[in-house]
Amino acid sequence: MKNVIKILLIDDESEFRFLIKTDLENEGFEVLEASDGVTGINLAVSENPDLILLDLNMPEPDGHQVFRMIRDHDLLRDIPVIILTTGDDINDRLGQTTEVADDHIAKSLDPKERTARIRSILARDR
């Protein structure tokens, strides 16, 4: 039996979550959703996802704080995290964050490229 890859999407924008979830489910992934960081952390602990997609621009706790919570948590620290940003400028994606995530991608990234980058990270971590 094939093992389905589970991705946790933490983002406060419901329309974006719907679009990403639809794209990723069409690619064969199982997608869990959280609309805020606290719910996302709790879901990650209970569901043990293979990868986390994390929006930086959320209300308290913001994505920076949630990322630190993930990396500080004994059960979560080894899960790959891709940081999602709205900025297309590389400085927005890399320069304003001190987090060393597995990748930083713009929310506007082409769905095929997003999927390829997710698969690359998952293959690397297996």
The string of pLDDT tens digits covering residues 49-88 is 999 999 988 888 988 899 999 999 999 999 999 998 876 5
Q: State the pTM of this model.
A: 0.89
CA–CA separation, 124 and 37 (whole Å): 26
Domain boundaries, the chain: 6-124
Is CATH 3.40.50.2300 the right assignment for the domain spanning 6-124? Answer: yes
* Residue-wise DSSP of 38-51: HHHHHHHHHH--SE
Helix (H, G, I), strand (E, B) or coil at 6: strand
